[in-house]
Amino acid sequence: NRIPAKGIAAMNNQGDFEIYDFDRHELGDTDILMEITYASICHSDIHHVKEEWGAEEYPMVPGHEMVGRVTKIGKNVTAFKVGDYAGVGCMINSCGTCKYCKAHMEQYCPKVVMTYHAHDPFHNNEITQGGYSSNMVVSQDFAIKIPKNAEMDKVAPLLCAGITTYSPINYVDVKKGDKVAVAGYGGLGHMAVQYMVARGANVTVFDITEEKRADALAMGAVKFVNVNNAEELKGLDNTMSFVISTIPANYDPNMYLKMLDLDGQFCIVGLPAMANMPVLSIDKFIWKGNRKVFGSQIGGIKETQEMVNYSVKHNIYPEVEKIPATPKAVEEAYENVLDGKVKFRYVIDMSTL
């Protein structure tokens, strides 16, 4: 009773995509089956496809930001009914008993099952395949309820870009009037700006694409800094209470560390290619009393549900560009993400698959 699926798969690490027929594990008693309506493209998908974080297996159907309609439920499912809208992010299962799962931080569970490119220990170690596809089978505990009044074509990016920025902003508890910064104004970065503007913070944006200056200011940032312009970087040292970096390429993290005020915090969520990893040198921060650097990975399921509810309630959505579900459109989209041409997230209309 395996479930047939159709996807758009990377066939190799050159980023060549093809239509790919495969199947998913059968519907367990606590699983839901959803028909995917929209899936979006995260820069992590590109890192994976290009093997920038390590060896991968192909064909690979990427995609860890998706939304769709529930079409079938297992006999013990209580959280969803057929016809409900559900979202799935970066993970589809975990052990449920370790200290991380108990603390609602399933993303750090040693047995967490990532949505694609992972081997699923709960299903004979079979490889998982992601959201650029017709459907998804997921444990009800890892599906997010999407309110019926949500803008469905804009919801998918919340499931990774939204939670990955919402979670550390929540953790740091950014407040009204705080001087904060977002480094890397792309899919994640433009969500970080919106969440911090909504909290009343004074947000500075750092990016390399001049065309994004007007967008940042229109989104409520007080300042846009083109990091390629040395003049604009002057006078920022020791001014920020919080900086979040979403940069996916090599850069100098020490530059942002220097911008922290006393007790300031620098959160790094952008994860560049292994071969191009930025370096944070001990000699640059040992003397910077009480300033903190921390990393963060997505967010737990409970917080993801809270983030979706909050975003829909406050009308905070990504800016999206819709593309058809074809291998060619996905290939072009990947090029454009790398070239800084997308504002700000590509959403694949899976109904066109």
Query: Is residue 91 within the footprint of Zn ion (CB under 5 A)?
Result: no
Query: Is residue 334 within the footprint of ligand NDP (CB under 6 A)?
Result: no
Q: Which helix (H) or strand (E) holds 347?
A: strand 345-349
Name the residue nearer to Zn ion (CB basis): 202 or 311: 311
Query: Is residue 248 within the footprint of ligand NDP (CB under 6 A)?
Result: yes
Tell me how many degrees the CA angle 80-163-165 measures, rounded to the nearest 5. Answer: 170
Query: Is residue 233 within the footprint of ligand NDP (CB under 6 A)?
Result: no
Nearest to ligand NDP by Cβ — which residue?
A: 186
Name the residue nearer to Zn ion (CB basis): 160 or 320: 160
Rg (CA), the chain: 20
Taking CB within 5 to 8 Å according to partner kind, which of Zn ion, ligand NDP, none is near residue 304? none
Taking CB within 5 to 8 Å according to partner kind, which of ligand NDP, Zn ion, none is near residue 269? ligand NDP
13 Cα distance to chain centroid: 21
Select the span of 29-37, 119-127, 267-275, 282-290 touching ligand NDP (CB under 6 A): 267-275
| β-bridge partners, 119 | 127
Contact between 172 and 293 under an 8 Å Cβ cutoff? The reply is no
The token pair at 188 is 């994640």
Q: Please, which residues have CB within 8 angstroms of residue 93's CB and are 6 or more apart in sequence?
A: 112, 113, 120, 122, 138, 139, 141, 142
Alpha helices by DSSP H, listed for the chain, are: 43-49, 99-102, 152-155, 161-172, 187-198, 213-218, 253-259, 282-285, 301-313, 327-338
Name the residue nearer to Zn ion (CB basis): 160 or 180: 160
Give CA separation, 318 vs 168, 198, 222, in Å. Answer: 18, 14, 19
Query: Is residue 340 within the footprint of ligand NDP (CB under 6 A)?
Result: yes
| β-bridge partners, 322 | 347
Query: Is residue 17 within the footprint of ligand NDP (CB under 6 A)?
Result: no
Select the span of 36-44, 113-121, 225-233, 308-316 touching Zn ion (CB under 5 A): 36-44
| Backbone dihedral angles phi then psi of residue 341, each to the nearest 5 degrees | -100, -5
Amino acid at position 66, single letter? M
* Binding flags for ligand NDP, 45-64, as an x/- string (CB under 6 A): --x-----------------
- Site residues for ligand NDP, 151-170, by CB under 6 A, read 160-161, 164
Q: Is 34 helix (H, G, I), strand (E, B) or coil?
A: strand
Query: Is residue 227 within the footprint of ligand NDP (CB under 6 A)?
Result: yes
- Site residues for Zn ion, 153-172, by CB under 5 A, read 160
Select the span of 7-15, 69-77, 246-254, 278-286 touching ligand NDP (CB under 6 A): 246-254
Select the span of 6-14, 42-50, 122-130, 173-181 touching ligand NDP (CB under 6 A): 42-50
The token pair at 258 is 């220097």
Query: Is residue 188 within the footprint of ligand NDP (CB under 6 A)?
Result: yes
Chain residues binding ligand NDP by CB under 6 A are 42-44, 47, 160-161, 164, 183-189, 206-209, 212, 227, 246-249, 251, 269-272, 296-298, 337, 340
